[in-house]
Structure formats: C-alpha cells, structure tokens
Chain A
Amino acid sequence: MSALALRNLVIRRGARTVIAGADIVFHAGRLTAVIGPNGAGKSSMLAAAAGLLPPASGTVWLGADLLSSLPRRELARRRAYLPQRAGVEWPISVERVVALGLAPTLPVFGGVSPTLASAIERALEECDLVGLRDRPATSLSGGELARVMLARAIVGDPEVLIVDEPTAGLDPRHALDAVRRLRARADAGRTVIMAIHEVDLALRFADDVVALRDGAIVAAGAATRVMTEATLSALYDVRAHIRHDGSCSTVHFVD
C-alpha cells in the first residue's frame, strides 16, 4: 500500500492563492484528519491530492508514481474521492449506485463479473446497506445516503480514500458511525484522509492531524501532539479547552 505525498503544492483559484506551498505525507494504514477554519483551503488541498484540481506548481505522488502521469482510469481505480455532501441525482437503486464505484474497473462493454458482484455485496454488507439495496437513492435519509456514498467509494478497494467532510449534516450517532468506518479502512492498511470540523472526532479517531489556516500548514503530526489547546486556540481564533476524561478526550471552545 502506498502513501500519498504532496510536494511544495501551490493551488490558485483565479488570482487568489488558496494553498501556498503544502509539503506533507499521508501514510498508508493511517487515518489523517485535515482540520482548520472555513476557507482555510482544506477542500482545495483534498481535491488536488485526489488529482482533480491541477496545482499551480508542485507535485502529488501516489507511492512512487506521479499522480498527474497516471492514466485517468488507473487513478480512478487506485484512489477514491468523496466531495462534500455527495449525492445522486436520479432515483437509482442503492445497489446500482454502489456498482457505479466500479466504473473504472468495468470493461466498456459487458456486465459485472462474479468477482465484481461479490465486491458489491461486500461493500453493501460493510456499510450496513443490505436491507436498503433496492431503495431509490434519492429517498434515503442523510445518514443512509452517507453510507451509500461511502460504499460507492470503497467498493473497488482503493489504496487511497479521500473524503471531504464525511460528517457534514449528520447527527452525532451517524457522524460517529461514518468516522468509525473510515477508521476501519485505515486499519485495513489503506491511506485515508478526511477533512473534518468535528475536532472531537478527529482527536478520538485520527492517527495524524494536519492543521490548515489561510492556505498554510500550521501544524502536522500525530493527533495528540498537534491537537493541543494552544494550537487549536490559534487555529480557530477561539479559546480551546481539552478535557481528559478517562479514555476519552473532548475539546471545548469557549469565548
């Protein structure tokens, strides 16, 4: 399994520089949380790391391969990307939506082979969707849809999984559930990167944390090392308290 590395990455949107020289390695088998205030450049960095936003300068490496040199379909097989609030626009059944995740693997003509069918089955089971398989994806609740999208992303078992705000719009139980499933992918040896606003969840589940502010990496490293009261206070411009309560740590923001 391969790590994903950003080297001197600069991203511009129009005349505005949104990421000014990011240098970071996302390790295989680890769940990395990208945190930072709104507009810090998290989404842009993730899109560039996924190869979907061409950087103004700098490079992205997937293992030993330069990301921009990989053919589209190979890149699509090796890394999965879920944008914020990913959804489906037609009332297609859950099972077929999950199968769309295999599009880069499928031959242009011809159907789903037995191995691919079992991959779909596994993804449905892993995301607790077996009972929903025939439901139109447009009729699902937010939590269910998030599970469908995750199943769509992991059905091809990609080396790298990049998820932009997997917990946005989810209630606490579903948010916890979503991050737990990402944790499981990392435990299975994949490189998992998520942008997240729930710092409690990042602190509890992530191995590594990258803190972004104004397009620059403020701090990066092991979650417990990065997520200190000083760093979080500086990052969000709000005083942060971290309370340790047995095995669990929680972050409180106070004015």
Chain B
Amino acid sequence: MNRWLVPALALALIAASAASLLAGTVWLRPQDVLAAIAHPSDDLPGLIVLQIRLPRVLLAMMIGGILGLSGAVLQGLLRNPLAEPGLLGVSAGASLGAVIAIYYGFSASFSLASPLFGLAGGFVTASVAFLLARGGGTLALILAGSAVTAIAAAGTEVALNLAPNPYAAYEIMNWLMGSLADRGWDHVRLAAPFIVAGGALLLATGPALDVLALGETQAESLGVAVGRMRLIALIGTALGVGAATAVAGAIGFVGLVAPHVVRPLVHHQPGRLLLPSALTGALIVVLADTATRVMRLGGPPINLGVLISLVGAPFFLWLVLHVRTRTA
C-alpha cells in the first residue's frame, strides 16, 4: 500500500485535472481538449481550454499542493495535529494586502494589483512574526503568528467597515471567500516561482521532521538544527502560501485536512507525509474548483473557499471522531 501511495495519488490528480478541463458551463469532449492542446487555435474550445481552464487547473494544483505541503510541515514541526498554514500569519497578511489593493481601487485599474499587494502583505506579516519570535522557541513563533494574524484580521475588518461603497465591500467579501474564477496565465506566472521555491524549501525539511517526532531536545542531540529548520519552514510557508493566498484568496481547511487524510497511510511518519499530503491538497482543490464550475444553486457561483469549508469542516469532524475511535 505504502509504495503505491504516491503513484496512486498522482494518477488520481492527473485524472481529476483532465476531468476539470472538460467540465464547466460549456462541456467539452476529450477530443476537443486534446485538439486544442495539440493545435492551439482561436476557436471556442481552444480559447476555453488554453486561456481559461488550463491556467485555472494549474493554479488549483499549485495552490492545493502548497497548502497540503505546508500543513504537513507545520503539523510535524509543531507536533500538533491542529496546525495549519494560516498559523504563522501569512494568510491573514496576504489577505490584508489584497484587501488594501481593492479598497484603494488599485485592483480596478490594474488587474494584478491584489495578488501583488497580497504577496507583499504575506511577506511583511511573516517577517514581523519571525522578528517577534526571534531567539524564542516554537511556542514563541506560534504566539507571534497568532498576534500578527489578529492584527491583519483587524485591518481587514476596518477596510470592510469603512468601505467607500457597497460594491467595494462586496468585492472584498468575495475576494476573502477564495476563488479561482477569472484567474489566467498572468496569475500562474506570478505565483508559480514563489510556490515552487517555497515548496522546495518545505520538502527539504522532511528528514528532520521525522527526527523531530522525538521532541526538540532529542532532535538537537541527533544533529538536527531545530532553529534553522524552523526558519526554513517559515520562509517556505511565507513564499508558497503567501503566493497562493495572494492569487486565490483565503482557502481554509485544505492545509489542515490533507495531512490527516494520508497520515495513517504513511504510518504516521511526519517526513514521509509531505509529498502525499501535497498531492492530496492538490487533488482536493482541483476537485472543489471543478465542482464550483459545475454546481449551480440558482444564484451566483459558489466560491471555492466556501465550498471547501462547507465540505471540509464536517469531513474534518468525522475524521477526528473516526481517528479517536480507532486509536482509543
């Protein structure tokens, strides 16, 4: 089972991504998609596949992957199954940055303004959290992260409260709910370098995370530089999750749930969890984004972040109960 886990998840991800290219308001046949990719043209299927669905599915994979990866790394680093990528203040900071761009109308004049402001916001909060926690241990980092999160969230609420008109408030709300609608190649090009770099840093912590299962003192005694590893995890999360939030808005639960889904399948080893958790996160977001396009509840399309919370929260509850009855 263990040996086949990563190939099986990769296959499932490829299948889900392929299905995602077919599904939507306009349903395409597989041969249309293949033709559009093989011979790019300006006909309708070509435009839909290359300009709308392909960048969107790539973003869904990258964002889900980095959220699942970061969640697995942070749960291993903090040895706490409730840790998630938002813990260090990166998501709240990226949200605040993007909200500022919407509030002052930058995003109306320049479409990449909110992701760029979001990136900057994520990096600023991560740096502040790190400076506050400098010299302290892991607990100091969590506390600094939650303090910074609270400050950024307050800033976002101020923006909502003082929004110049209902339309701006609606736009901010909509952005905060997380979505991949209307994201294109510009967003892919903006987010990909940060997500890839952050992902590489996070993956590099794997072997040390295994040893950290023995606690920080024993890990130090076994040659793990715990302080340096904490810094690598923070930078990796700031780069990757900062970019993901900047592009798609706040998407919760993926980083929390993905590691739990695969943890029993890797025998609870924190280091072995990373790649399967990233693939699971990617799978969740690709499936959820496809669902938001297919589902029509009469009104406007349901947002990605909302759908994931709607399904993710009860699933997480079930998982907690299930794990408890099995291990007790």
* Residue positions of A touching B, CB distance < 8 A: 50, 52, 72-73, 75-77, 79-83, 86-93, 96-97, 100-101, 103-104, 106, 108, 136, 152
Question: Cα distance A91–B268 when bound, in Å?
Answer: 6
**Which residues of chain B come closer than 8 Å to A152, judged between CB atoms?**
214, 218
Within the complex, the shortest CB–CB distance from A192 to chain B, in Å, comes to: 15
**Which residues of chain A come closer than 8 Å to B213, judged between CB atoms?**
88-90, 92, 97, 100
A100 touches B221 (CB 8 A): no
Question: Cα distance A77–B222 when bound, in Å?
Answer: 8
Interface residues of B in 210-254 (CB under 8 A from A): 210-211, 213-215, 217-218, 220-225
A–B Cβ pairs within 8 angstroms, 18 of them? A52-B220, A72-B223, A73-B223, A75-B223, A76-B222, A76-B223, A77-B223, A81-B217, A81-B218, A81-B221, A83-B215, A87-B214, A88-B213, A91-B268, A97-B213, A103-B207, A106-B207, A136-B268
**Which residues of chain A come closer than 8 Å to B267, judged between CB atoms?**
92-93, 96
Question: Cα distance A36–B221 when bound, in Å?
Answer: 24
Interface residues of B in 246-272 (CB under 8 A from A): 267-270
Across the interface, A103 reaches (CB within 8 A) one of B217, B223, B270, namely B223
B217 touches A52 (CB 8 A): yes
Within the complex, the shortest CB–CB distance from B260 to chain A, in Å, comes to: 12
**Which residues of chain A come closer than 8 Å to B217, judged between CB atoms?**
52, 81, 83, 86
Question: Cα distance A91–B267 when bound, in Å?
Answer: 8
The residue of chain B having its C-beta at the shortest distance from the C-beta of A76 within the complex is B223
The residue of chain A having its C-beta at the shortest distance from the C-beta of B76 within the complex is A90
Interface check B327, CB cutoff 8 A: yes
Interface check B293, CB cutoff 8 A: no
**Which residues of chain A come closer than 8 Å to B270, judged between CB atoms?**
90
Contact status of A89 and B223, CB under 8 A, knowing A83-B215, A100-B211, A100-B214: no
**Which residues of chain B come closer than 8 Å to A97, judged between CB atoms?**
213-214
B269 touches A72 (CB 8 A): no
**Which residues of chain B come closer than 8 Å to A96, judged between CB atoms?**
267, 269
* Total residues of chain B contacting the partner, CB 8 A: 20
**Which residues of chain B come closer than 8 Å to A89, judged between CB atoms?**
79, 213-215
Question: Cα distance A100–B268 when bound, in Å?
Answer: 14
Interface residues of B in 194-211 (CB under 8 A from A): 207, 210-211
The residue of chain A having its C-beta at the shortest distance from the C-beta of B75 within the complex is A90
A101 touches B222 (CB 8 A): yes
Within the complex, the shortest CB–CB distance from B15 to chain A, in Å, comes to: 29
B282-300 contact mask (Cβ, 8 Å, vs A): 1 or 0:
0000000000000000000
A50 touches B215 (CB 8 A): no
Question: Cα distance A77–B267 when bound, in Å?
Answer: 26
Within the complex, the shortest CB–CB distance from B55 to chain A, in Å, comes to: 33
B221 touches A92 (CB 8 A): no
A103 touches B215 (CB 8 A): no
Within the complex, the shortest CB–CB distance from B86 to chain A, in Å, comes to: 22
Across the interface, B222 reaches (CB within 8 A) one of A87, A90, A100, A108, namely A100
B225 touches A72 (CB 8 A): yes
Question: Cα distance A48–B139 when bound, in Å?
Answer: 23
Contact status of A103 and B221, CB under 8 A, knowing A87-B215, A89-B79, A90-B268: no
**Which residues of chain B come closer than 8 Å to A72, judged between CB atoms?**
223, 225
Across the interface, B221 reaches (CB within 8 A) one of A52, A87, A106, namely A52
Contact status of A80 and B268, CB under 8 A, knowing A91-B327, A92-B213: no
Question: Cα distance A93–B210 when bound, in Å?
Answer: 12
**Which residues of chain A come closer than 8 Å to B221, judged between CB atoms?**
50, 52, 76, 79-81, 83
Across the interface, B211 reaches (CB within 8 A) one of A50, A83, A86, A103, namely A103
**Which residues of chain B come closer than 8 Å to A81, judged between CB atoms?**
217-218, 221
Question: Cα distance A212–B210 when bound, in Å?
Answer: 36
Question: Cα distance A89–B225 when bound, in Å?
Answer: 19
Within the complex, the shortest CB–CB distance from A6 to chain B, in Å, comes to: 17
Question: Cα distance A79–B214 when bound, in Å?
Answer: 17
The residue of chain B having its C-beta at the shortest distance from the C-beta of A72 within the complex is B223
Known interface pairs A50-B221, A86-B215, A104-B222; 17 further A-B residue pairs with C-beta atoms within 8 A, sorted by A's residue number: A73-B223, A76-B222, A81-B221, A87-B214, A88-B214, A89-B213, A89-B214, A90-B213, A90-B269, A92-B213, A96-B267, A97-B213, A97-B214, A103-B207, A103-B223, A106-B207, A152-B218
Question: Cα distance A92–B220 when bound, in Å?
Answer: 19
**Which residues of chain A come closer than 8 Å to B222, judged between CB atoms?**
76, 100-101, 103-104
Across the interface, B214 reaches (CB within 8 A) one of A86, A91, A93, namely A86
B79 touches A90 (CB 8 A): yes
Within the complex, the shortest CB–CB distance from A91 to chain B, in Å, comes to: 5
The residue of chain B having its C-beta at the shortest distance from the C-beta of A81 within the complex is B221
**Which residues of chain B come closer than 8 Å to A75, judged between CB atoms?**
223
Closest 4 CB pairs of A and B: A76-B223, A81-B221, A89-B79, A104-B223
A108 touches B207 (CB 8 A): yes
Question: Cα distance A25–B139 when bound, in Å?
Answer: 36
Max chain A C-beta neighbours (<10 A), residue from B210, B269, B327:
B210
Within the complex, the shortest CB–CB distance from A217 to chain B, in Å, comes to: 24
Question: Cα distance A103–B214 when bound, in Å?
Answer: 12
Within the complex, the shortest CB–CB distance from B205 to chain A, in Å, comes to: 12
**Which residues of chain A come closer than 8 Å to B223, judged between CB atoms?**
72-73, 75-77, 103-104
Within the complex, the shortest CB–CB distance from B71 to chain A, in Å, comes to: 15
**Which residues of chain A come closer than 8 Å to B210, judged between CB atoms?**
100, 103
